[in-house]
Structure 1
Amino acid sequence: MSHLAAVLECLLFTAEKPLSLERIAETFPNHARQEWREALEELGTHYHRAGHGVFVAEVGGGYQLRTRSEYATWVVQTRPVSPQRLSQAAIETLAVIAYKQPIIRAEIEAIRGVDVSGVLRQLLEKGLIQMLGRKDIPGRPILYGTTATFLEVFGLKDLRSLPTQEELQALAEEELAHGGGVDDVGPGSISSQLREERDGPDAAEVTSAS
């Protein structure tokens, strides 16, 4: 592995959030963005070919080292705190926002048929949605949309990578049927299932950065 690829490995390993090539190149201007891109390709290929338990994932507008889903049952046993979960109401509301954004509360409630004020607060607190501004109509209601954290939690490269609304709902119902909700680890988690249902296991793995 080249020196720059090893440096990039350290950066991704220690970063709390996905890192974009733009941010890396701006932070370390002595190396051109193309050099970092080549290092990323090298690192992704290294993890792909060597059969490691982690891989380089393109998610949430950047890149991140992630554990492979087949080892999640081992990883989850070392976590001191249980992963946060979402109720079915929260999942359904989040799905509406993801596919209809930007959207106001009244429009969400018209689709779901129930009051969503409490659910919106919950999703805001978890950082999965954000206020995007106000709609230019009487009362100027708040517009809601998803965040980069939403993409990261659900293992999505961008909003174009969203599964269909039917797939999201089916996965949510399956998880709830087993007594769970949305979590961020485990082979049965929504985040890993979305990726596997859409593209196959570890589909977000980086082996060539284009």
Structure 2
Amino acid sequence: MASNKKSKKVEEIENQESLVMDDAEMNELMEQEGLSADFEADLASENPETLSEETLSEELSFSDEDAADEGSEENAEPSDDGSESIFISDDQMFSIIESMLFATDRPITADYIKQAFKGTNIRIKRIRKALQEYSEKLASQDRGVYLEQVGGGYQLRTKQDNMEFLSRTQKGRPFKLSGPALEVMSIVAYEQPCIKSRIDEIRGVESGHLMRALMDKGLVAFEGKSELPGKPMLYRTTKKFLEIFGLRTIKELPSLEEIDQLIPEGIGDEQDDTQLSDLTDSMSMEAAMSYSENEDELVKIADELSDITTSTDFFEQEKIRAREKRDK
């Protein structure tokens, strides 16, 4: 600031039209104006042309570093949380995602994977695209695993074609459900959220022990309380249910009409029940006419065949309701 004032004073002195002086007179005038003897040194310190080579070199070096830092900051994308972003290449991103999929036995979501890339340049949109590309890559016939989108997430699974060979060494415990348990499971899946009395009504028997078994296996869970009198509990299926049955969402359940189309024509009709009964009677008569040591066994088989049911009350009621809805 002081140097600027000095410069203005010198300008005023030098710009006087009638003033012509030599160096001695100039120095004398400067002393009268109160200018310091080291004014020239002060002025030189602000004049770039008089800077020493060492000072100039240091300042130029500092400027280059600043420019490099500014350039890197401009090129780096800000992270989602506003912190400095770390650059991750596509190859490294694929490697990390693959490791995460191998490290878990549960389906994981894209949002869950994004947590591993916090503070990097990887965005959720890029992760979803990478998962799709990885799924297509694994779909080739020479790969032993595939990426399944199930239960709202992604999971690596072994290919069904290799199960025969895997079963020779991998003695995993099979996941089994009894017929009545599957029936209860089906009712909950299609009626959810539903109360237990509704399940009992459809089946015609008490289903409490089966509901508890399904809850123990993690297939059924509480949804809340109903607004009905007494506020009975509501039940729904779980993510594990979707995982076990290979569904992404509950909306992927086949409709009852689709199930009906899968059942061979005539199965479940009274006419076919009669034909099956006639068949067993005929088998019994033939066995009676030709005595053998297996006579008793044939009688037992005939009795078992006559007891075979090809449908359930639940599916019969649902088929009737679907037909009525279709006819409206």
TM-score, normalised to structure 2, is: 0.49
Matched with 2:143 is: 52
Aligned pair partner of 1:2 in 70, 86, 91: 91
For residues 140 and 160 of structure 2, the distance between their equivalents in structure 1, rounded to whole angstroms, comes to 17
The alpha carbon displacement at 1:138 in A equals 1.6
Aligned partner of 2:251: which letter?
R
For residues 180 and 117 of structure 2, the distance between their equivalents in structure 1, rounded to whole angstroms, comes to 44
Matched with 2:194 is: 103
Q: Does 1:167 align with 2:259?
A: yes
Matched with 1:63 is: 154
Which of 1 and 2 has higher RCO (CA within 8 Å, sep 6+)? Answer: 1
Q: Which has the higher helix share?
A: 2
Aligned partner of 1:53: which letter?
G
Aligned partner of 1:99: which letter?
Y
For residues 90 and 101 of structure 1, the distance between their equivalents in structure 2, rounded to whole angstroms, comes to 16
Write the mapping of 1:119-138 to structure 2, written as runs, cut at 5 A: 119-138=210-229
SS at match of 1:77: coil
Q: Does 1:32 align with 2:110?
A: no
Matched with 1:80 is: 171
Matched with 1:194 is: none
Q: Does 1:143 align with 2:234?
A: yes
CA separation of 1:61/1:71 partners in 2, compared to 1, >3 Å: closer, same or farther? same
Aligned length: 170
CA RMSD of aligned residues (A): 2.0
The alpha carbon displacement at 1:69 in A equals 1.4
CA separation of 1:27/1:44 partners in 2, compared to 1, >3 Å: closer, same or farther? same
| Cα contact 1:20–1:63 (8 A) shared by 2 | yes
Q: Does 1:12 align with 2:75?
A: no
| Cα contact 1:47–1:55 (8 A) shared by 2 | yes
SS at match of 1:49: coil
Matched with 1:192 is: none
For residues 77 and 99 of structure 1, the distance between their equivalents in structure 2, rounded to whole angstroms, comes to 37
The alpha carbon displacement at 1:38 in A equals 2.3
SS at match of 1:133: strand
Residue-by-residue CA offset, 1:90-136 (whole Å, 9 max, x unaligned): 00110010011000000011111111001001000000010111111
Q: Which runs of 5+ in 1 are unaligned?
A: 171-210
CA separation of 1:119/1:66 partners in 2, compared to 1, >3 Å: closer, same or farther? same
For residues 96 and 117 of structure 1, the distance between their equivalents in structure 2, rounded to whole angstroms, comes to 13
Aligned partner of 1:63: which letter?
Y
Residue-by-residue CA offset, 1:40-91 (whole Å, 9 max, x unaligned): 1221121113631110110000000011112122223333343131000000
Matched with 2:111 is: 22
SS at match of 2:140: helix
- The percentage of counterpart residues that share the same residue type is 35
Larger radius of gyration: 2
Q: Which has the higher strand share?
A: 1
| Cα contact 1:128–1:147 (8 A) shared by 2 | yes
SS at match of 1:90: helix
